[in-house]
Amino acid sequence: MDDAVTADAARAATGLIPQPRDTRPQDGAFLLGPDTVLDAGPGTETTAAWLRGTVGAATGLPLPPGTGGGRNRAETGGDGTDRDGSGAIRLRVDADTADALGPEGYRLTAGHTGVTLLGGGAAGTFWGAQTLRQLLGPDAHRRAPLRPGHHWSVPAVRIEDAPRFAWRGMMLDVARHFLPKDGVLRYLDLLAAHKLNVLHLHLTDDQGWRIEIERYPRLTEAGAWRERTKLGHRASPLWDDRPHGGYYTQDDLREIVAYAAARHISVVPEIDIPGHSQAAIAAYPELGNTDVIDTNSLKVWDTWGVNPNVLAPTDNALRFYEGVLEEVLALFPSRFVHIGGDECPKDQWRASPYAQARIKELGVGDEDGLQSWFIRHFDRWLADRGRRLIGWDEILEGGLAPGAAVSSWRGYAGGIAAAQAGHDVVMCPEQQVYLDHRQHDGPDEPVPIGYVRTLEDVYRFEPVPPQLTPEQAAHVLGTQANVWTEVMETPQRLDYQVFPRLAAFAEVAWSELPPPAERDHAGFTRRMAAHYRRLDALGVDYRPPGGPLPWQRRPGLLGRPIEGSPPNV
């Protein structure tokens, strides 16, 4: 075998992201060729299809079905490696692996005559296939072969791996700036490449309604479009006077969900209530507090911030959103449904005679109790249909519904309180893992928002607070990086903010890492050298280590940088 091929393969074994639990390089490599077969056992069919569609496309190899291993030593090079690259990639769902590593764990063994990939379940086999693609080198992430006759090799290695957390997610805000369906499918591939398994889709907000609801057509006819858009932070004087909008048809969403499922990713929909609702009120004015403001005058909001226009606490609003959620449940099989619950100003309820009478009628005490009444209603409604409510940590205000889970975004405090009370938690504190926050304090950073959160900062993020006992920590389902798109008006801007930091976040979510101060950031940086080449092959417009490229800058657009270190709250 060519020494350069062997050396490239050996480097690939030590450059994996996220870092596997146990990696043991061996001598030699497996050389793939036109006769290399893909031997897919029961339960691995979707992984086999994915390998043919990605690795097969990048290498130009057909990877036909078969069992392999049919040659004798006289037909090989004396070291057990077929000169023409035959042998097999074997995929299996394996009970022993499931017992030892769980359904998302896998064992990958590569030797001279092939690769054996044992998954604890179908998902484990798929995550192992992602590792296999990384082992083949950065060009295995391209969509077509670069050089005919290139020798593709997998280093001889034994890997045992499993995720730390069951919920490894990214929240994508498509309400502020709409990302067309093909962009969502692309991001599902990027999540899969990093072994992330939850896409939280923020589908509704003041600035746009992005999901077709057949019984309420004006939600997309009127609510999916705004007349203009604020450029930069809300204090900026600049506007983009082009109308902005778009939405996903129900067939689009069925396609997104099916595409995600084939990659073992759950799509969690978010329908925001009772705040962040101006787009819905603009479409159906009766949903708002009509005794306080003229809701007929409201339009889809064209700027950013916390909006005062919230849902009225009426039975009509409850019935309306039950109708919305009936169609949402038919589209999304996710166990969890996110209902927002954050940033709900209560000024209109304080000023509304109807809302005040409702507080007395329901016996909920005050406006916080009224918000809790909204949340508890939909907690019961979803539970009756076999689903679970999850919301931002404001749903703790006024008392948390018994079965609800919490996305802890304002810091750790909400998640700590929820876990201590026995509620499940997804940790996504804005001070650590909001990827809209700036990556550097330099003057060329585009539309700088929030605290500086570097690649190293994200790598040292710890999802489980030390205040929790082991029993309480078991309620931390996992972690999520949130991507709010107020200042991300194009896919390129989205890529710049998300990458490369999502790679560091993925390692935090997947790998068993030491405490933050003890993590090997230098080693991670070395592995990122290979990973940047993978991102290049995938066409990701990431922020380079040396700072933004000229076309990534946004001179003249006002941001809102916050100086100093973020509080640990």
CB 466 within 8 A of CB 168: no
Backbone φ, ψ for residue 318 (5° rounding): -60, -50
CB 53 within 8 A of CB 107: no
Residue 183 neighbours by CB under 8 Å, 6+ apart: 491, 494
Is 445 catalytic? The answer is no
Closest Cα to residue 386, out of 429, 329, 345, 437?
329
- Vertex 536: Cα angle to 530 and 540 (nearest 5): 120
Kind of pairing between the strands at 560-561 and 449-450: parallel
- Vertex 271: Cα angle to 299 and 182 (nearest 5): 90
Is 276 catalytic? The answer is yes
Query: Which residue among 39, 205, 430, 489 is the active-site one?
Result: 205
Residue 86 neighbours by CB under 8 Å, 6+ apart: 33, 35, 36, 37, 68, 70, 71
Q: What tokens does 527 get? A: 């592995």
Q: How far is CA 67 from CA 79, 116, 153, in A?
A: 21, 11, 19
H helices of 232-309, in order, are: 250-261, 278-283
Angle of helix 122-135 versus helix 3-13 axis, rounded to 10: 130
Q: How far is CA 184 from CA 174, 188, 253, 363, in A?
A: 9, 6, 10, 43
Q: Can you point out the beta strands (E) in 398-529? A: 405-408, 425-427, 449-450, 476-483
> Quick one: which H or E segment has residue 159?
strand 152-161
CB 542 within 8 A of CB 494: no
Q: What tokens does 268 get? A: 């969690």
Closest Cα to residue 84, out of 105, 61, 103?
61
Q: How far apart are CA 38 and CA 108, in angstroms?
A: 15
CB 117 within 8 A of CB 106: yes
With tokens 């490239």, the residue in question is 8
Query: Which residue among 8, 255, 327, 343 is the active-site one?
Result: 343
3-state secondary structure of 15: coil
Half-sphere exposure of 479 (CA within 13 A, CB side): 29
Q: How far apart are CA 152 and CA 12, in angstroms?
A: 12
Q: How far apart are CA 220 and CA 247, in angstroms?
A: 7
CB 451 within 8 A of CB 565: yes
Q: What tokens does 277 get? A: 């609702």
Is 205 catalytic? The answer is yes
Q: Which residues are catalytic?
A: 205, 276, 343
